[in-house]
Structure 1
């Protein structure tokens, strides 16, 4: 009896080797596991966006390259519209950035880092180089400078504030790394997904650079994760190269209507960001005397809870109806859980659960 021939696959080995994005939804009362803004888009703004959407003819294609929405973002950001690129979520931008400058080249970032950077690098065949964060979670400036010199240029990710630690670096350290990378020909991405919570803004570095860009999102401070819209700011030449990699008609009328409405009413976003910052500090103060657990400082809408036993702490919070994310398998984050800042009543439940650990 002969054995069946081994079936060959046209799927690239790099894709088969990479696991799917690591997230499993948990159905509990307090959802604090995805760094979301806990508040929905205001009802009155939903109505305005719906009216806008209904005014569009749905039988027509949207803008080829989201030009109407790019112009609205440009006005809000005081930027040249030709230097704005928008896609359905900043994760899509990370993919096209890897396609632009990572395939067959280098993707350089810290360890730990945002998982999508590494997943896209590995699936698209880039050389992935990781420099470990310092023990205090700060940017490893000297190690990064050495890596910039040791490897051929590609894409460098500098995340400010950092995910998953919530740490913000000294502006002079960020500037030193970004300017060095730009001088060496790297495409340098300053990922500012959480910048509203930190009060930071690196657009000046983008304006001064040759191949520097700021990556931003409507998912966090704006509270529009379900709409899926992320964008970047850069110079017009680099934006033009990136736009070649964005599929045509990728931003639909619904997304356009919601984002245009949000940009016309940024006061709701600013108020919610201010509340999250205040609530983050309240959680820190209310748990600071815990004998074994520690809420680590953060500049984002989430924080790390360092525990003696991450599994036990995770199960304890789950038993109190609170979903969070384990981070204890990542370098330097032993015992850590990542927890989003919720609404005040959700944070009350969280504080009580932490203090009863």
Structure 2
């Protein structure tokens, strides 16, 4: 069997995710607030009047109209996928030949590397500067010197939470020969999108998702915004029925009721600010600013913190030590009582009370 497997896949570790069975789950940057019940009932009514024996709309016109209303981007500049993951796969399928170069900053979203590996590309991950400042000059140099096909900017960045300034994004766009993918999965928590840059920069593609701020991780709906030429190219590699009718119907309801759903953003921002202020008082933690719905910090006691939380039935994200960084922790904002419990346990560990 091994002789049949593509060589670049043989050493690839499968990205398998077990269903978490914990009292508090804050490891995946999900919203702690479920979709409103009144909108779930509206969804049920919609499905009861939908023919499930027919294939879904292949080009999702109702969903694209709702996204266009939400983003201001015309319909011909929009394509949808099963989360950002599928869209990243489509981008690699459409633009990357074996041996081509893909550039990203590091640390960042793991799927950039996984899909580059599957495409048999050479992925150059430009490490952050000290204090987790993105190395903008390093990104530009890597892309230009290697004629990179793709360059990823994750803004706000996962897992560190840092922000690329608008000036830095424009600087990259103006300098590199690549298709620049601006991943705005967490943009609603930050609020300053680069979507308006699409008019000036034809090699820009913006990724968005309903998994985070909209609290719809369970329906797997992402979308890409770009000029019509790029979107037409992505349609060439899109599966004909890649979004099921349930996802399409619920996504439309969410976007049409975005004002009501996004009210929770203020709560989550306030919780993030409160948690940051508490963590800043703890010894031995190196805390980084965040524009997303999560907090990231480094600590020599990261493993002890992780284990203490596990014992209390709480799942966070733990990153292992590297040659240049200590262990680190990322946890997304839960409900206020959940956040308080997490902070209490971290306090116990750092003050050796656990």
TM-score scaled by length of structure 2: 0.94
Residue 237 of structure 2 corresponds to residue 242 of structure 1:
no
- 8 Å contact from structure 1 (residues 168, 299) kept in 2: yes
1:152, distance to aligned residue in structure 2 (A): 2.1
Other-structure match for 2:115:
120
Residue 63 of structure 2 corresponds to residue 69 of structure 1:
yes
Residue 157 of structure 2 corresponds to residue 162 of structure 1:
yes
- 8 Å contact from structure 1 (residues 84, 233) kept in 2: yes
1:24, distance to aligned residue in structure 2 (A): 4.4
Other-structure match for 2:205:
213
1:179, distance to aligned residue in structure 2 (A): 2.2
- Paired residues in the alignment total 348
- 8 Å contact from structure 1 (residues 70, 81) kept in 2: yes
The 5-angstrom pairing of residues 1-357 of structure 1 reads 9-21=3-15, 23-104=17-98, 105-181=100-176, 184=177, 186-329=178-321, 333-357=325-349
Runs (5+) with no aligned partner, structure 2: 350-354
Deviations 1:197-233 (A, max 9, x none): 1112001222211121110000000000000000010
1:351, distance to aligned residue in structure 2 (A): 1.4
2:344 counterpart SS class: helix
1:232 counterpart SS class: strand
1:345, distance to aligned residue in structure 2 (A): 0.9
Q: State the distance in 2 between where 1:155 and 1:239 align.
A: 15
1:10, distance to aligned residue in structure 2 (A): 1.9
Between 275-284 and 320-329, report the one with greater CA deviation.
320-329
1:226 counterpart SS class: helix
1:291, distance to aligned residue in structure 2 (A): 2.0
Between 153-162 and 129-138, report the one with greater CA deviation.
129-138
Other-structure match for 1:4:
none
Between 121-130 and 59-68, report the one with greater CA deviation.
59-68
1:332, distance to aligned residue in structure 2 (A): 5.0
- 8 Å contact from structure 2 (residues 84, 222) kept in 1: yes
1:9 counterpart SS class: helix
Q: State the distance in 1 between where 2:27 and 2:15 align.
A: 14
How has the CA–CA distance of structure 1 residues 199 and 254 changed in structure 2, closer, same or farther, with 3 Å as cutoff?
same
Deviations 1:293-318 (A, max 9, x none): 34432111111132222211210121
Q: State the distance in 1 between where 2:208 and 2:323 align.
A: 26
1:335, distance to aligned residue in structure 2 (A): 2.0
Q: State the distance in 1 between where 2:323 and 2:81 align.
A: 31
2:263 counterpart SS class: helix
Q: State the distance in 2 between where 1:142 and 1:38 align.
A: 37
Q: State the distance in 1 between where 2:216 and 2:133 align.
A: 29
- 8 Å contact from structure 1 (residues 121, 127) kept in 2: yes
How large is the RMSD of aligned CA atoms in angstroms? 1.6
1:190 counterpart SS class: strand
Q: State the distance in 2 between where 1:256 and 1:333 align.
A: 42
1:300 counterpart SS class: coil
How has the CA–CA distance of structure 1 residues 171 and 124 changed in structure 2, closer, same or farther, with 3 Å as cutoff?
same
1:23, distance to aligned residue in structure 2 (A): 4.2
1:238, distance to aligned residue in structure 2 (A): 0.7
Runs (5+) with no aligned partner, structure 1: 1-6
1:175 counterpart SS class: helix
1:319, distance to aligned residue in structure 2 (A): 1.8
How has the CA–CA distance of structure 1 residues 346 and 236 changed in structure 2, closer, same or farther, with 3 Å as cutoff?
same
1:77, distance to aligned residue in structure 2 (A): 1.1
